[in-house]
Amino acid sequence: MPQHKALSRRGFFSRTALLGGAVLAPGLVAACSRTQVGTGAPSDDGKLLDKLHAQGYVRIGFAGEAPYGFKDGNRLAGEAPTLHREIFSALGVAEMRPTLTDFGALIPGLLADRFDVVSAGMAITPERCAKVAFSEPEFVSPTALMVPKGNPKGLSDLKSVASTGVTVGVLTAAVEATYAKGAGVGGSSVKSLAKQQDGLDALVAGRIDAFALTGISLRWLAKANAEAPVEVLEPFVPELNGTPQYSPGGAVFRPGSTALRDAFNGELAKITGDPDRYVALIGQYGFTAREVPPPTLRTIDLCAV
């Protein structure tokens, strides 16, 4: 797949590609890590991590979106909970206590102190960075379209959705709505859906002509609904104002929880820096070495407006 070649885990996403050649010095990145871009919130100086150590658990918010974070029977499963369980265990916090909520309620719930971290594979965007503190990227995943079997509308990406005037479904509060608008899809042609399964069901029922989400999510959804007459098209990289959008995702913390986030990042780097370990942990959810974020991909850059 051409996009996969372009998405080489070490070469596709550099600071140069993002911001026209300007590169931040490592010292500047480290200095900026103590406050979250857009919030200016001070670090918690380790108080929250101390609290988690003392109580022995961390509260996790997730949205029931496979393969990122979902319940498999009574077990919390998926990319984010699996990585986060490994990280928090290394930080001395053995238990994760999950709270299920709609995707659009994750950030409000975090800010309302319903949980300590969001484990949902949430895309890192400047708009979200203005409200919360993200970890460094946990994965990268380009966008794709799910369409009826045979692709009757001849779609390929969001620009083709715009040019044909068909209707595309997106998850409520997910970045694909912004990508669709950036590609020229009219507002009335974008339908918001609460859950992944709602998107597939709407597609099968003919209420939408395509469903846009990360390719890895759609492949998982198609696998879980093997009898459904749908297919997932080749991934593509949408653009906003000429800038490629690779949909990197990470853990989410309250703005004041930067000391916890920094400790989390230290353990995350040990995993993303070892592709074999990364795949061993979350390969069961469809993540491969090509989803490993390159070391040049930094949250501080992704948060820049």
Which residues of 91-152 form beta strands (DSSP E)? 95-100, 117-123, 133-134, 143-148
> Do 174 and 120 meet the contact criterion of CB atoms below 8 Å apart?
no
pLDDT of residue 61: 98
Can you tell me the mean pLDDT for 92-99? 97
Looking at residue 305, its pLDDT comes to 64
Residues in the chain: 305
- The reported pLDDT for the residue numbered 42 is 59
CATH fold of 2-140+246-302 reads D-Maltodextrin-Binding Protein; domain 2 (3.40.190)
Predicted confidence band of residue 229 (pLDDT cuts 50, 70, 90): very high
What's the whole-number mean pLDDT along residues 247-263?
A: 95
Q: Which residue has the higher pLDDT, 162 or 39?
A: 162
pLDDT-based confidence at 207, cuts 50/70/90?
very high
Report whether pLDDT(209) > 90. yes
Mean pLDDT for 42-70 is 90
pLDDT band, very low/low/confident/very high, at 290 (cuts 50, 70, 90): confident
pLDDT of residue 195: 92
Share of the chain above pLDDT 90, in %: 71
Residue 64 predicted with pLDDT over 70: yes
Name the segment(s) of the chain with CATH classification 3.40.190.10: 2-140+246-302, 143-244
CATH homologous superfamily, domain 143-244: Periplasmic binding protein-like II (3.40.190.10)
User: Which residue pairs from 50-54 have beta carbons closer than 8 angstroms and sit at least 24 positions apart in sequence?
Assistant: 52/88, 52/91, 52/93, 52/116, 52/260, 53/92, 53/93
In the predicted model, what is the mean pLDDT of the chain?
86
Instruction: Tally Cβ neighbours within 10 Å of residue 80.
Output: 31
pLDDT tier at 93 (50, 70, 90 boundaries)?
very high
Alpha-carbon gap, residue 124 to 130, rounded angstroms: 11
pLDDT over 60 at 184, yes or no = yes
Output Rg (C-alpha) for the chain, integer angstroms.
19
- pLDDT, tens only, 2-55: 333 333 222 223 233 333 333 333 332 333 333 344 445 556 767 999 999 999
Summarised one tens digit per residue, pLDDT across range 108-127 is 999 999 999 999 999 899 99
> C-alpha distances in angstroms, 76 versus 103, 168, 243, 271?
16, 30, 35, 20
So what's the pLDDT on residue 246? Answer: 76
Token pair of 263 as six digits: 């400790």
Can you give the pLDDT at residue 116? 97
Residue 173 has pLDDT above 90, yes or no: no
**Averaged pLDDT for residues 240-247:** 84
Angle between helices 79-90 and 258-272 (to 10 degrees): 110
What pLDDT does residue 152 have?
98
Confidence of residue 283 (pLDDT cuts 50, 70, 90): very high
Q: Which of the residue ranges 106-110, 138-142, 258-262 would you say has the lowest mean pLDDT? A: 138-142
